[in-house]
Amino acid sequence: MSYIIKYNTVLIGNLLVICFSPDCNPLDFSVWDRLAAAIGAKQSKNRQDLVGKVEGTWHQVLDPEYVVKICKGVWPRLRHVVAVNGGYLTPEDNSNGT
């Protein structure tokens, strides 16, 4: 546990935040859902098939404008996580389009 606290946390104000919080990680709160929606619900035949779908869709889904939008949304999200004392964000909290 001390390793996790020492190497995987950030102090924001007086709040110690674990860096792997899905509310603070753009991959978790935006990118994976968008990628999954683009790939579709159809199950992949095997690992190679899934990798091919992800690679083929990645640049279509993650255009530069979208990436900039997500990056700009990180700081407001972090501030909101601090405001709720590290609690989870609700769907209403995610209404900023990220």
Q: Which is higher by pLDDT, 63 or 11? A: 63
Reported as a single tens digit per residue, the pLDDT across 42-98 is 788 999 998 998 888 888 888 888 888 888 888 888 788 778 776 777 766 655 444
Residue 86 belongs to some domain of the structure? yes
- Considering the domain boundaries, does residue 42 fall inside one? yes
- Within a domain: residue 3? no
Identify any residues that bridge with 17 across adjacent strands, giving them in sequence order: 10
The answer to whether position 66 is within a domain reads: yes
3-state secondary structure string, the chain?
A: CHHHHHHCEEEECCEEEECCCCCCCHHHHHHHHHHHHHHCCCCCCCHHHHHHHHHHHHHHHCCHHHHHHHHHHHHHHHHHHHHCCCCCCCCCCCCCCC
Please report whether residue 9 resides in a domain: no
Residue 35's domain spans which residues?
21-98
**Which residues does 84 contact at the CB level (< 8 Å), separation at least 6?**
93
Q: What is the pLDDT of residue 56?
A: 87
Q: Is residue 90 part of a domain?
A: yes
Amino acid at 43: Q
In a domain, 76, yes or no: yes
Determine the pLDDT at residue 39: 87
Residues 17-48: tens digit of each pLDDT: 556 666 677 777 788 888 888 888 778 899 99
Q: How many domains, the chain?
A: 1
Q: Whole-prediction pTM value?
A: 0.53
| pLDDT of the residue at 76 | 82
Q: Look at residue 14 and tell me if it is in a domain.
A: no
Beta pairing partners, 9: 18
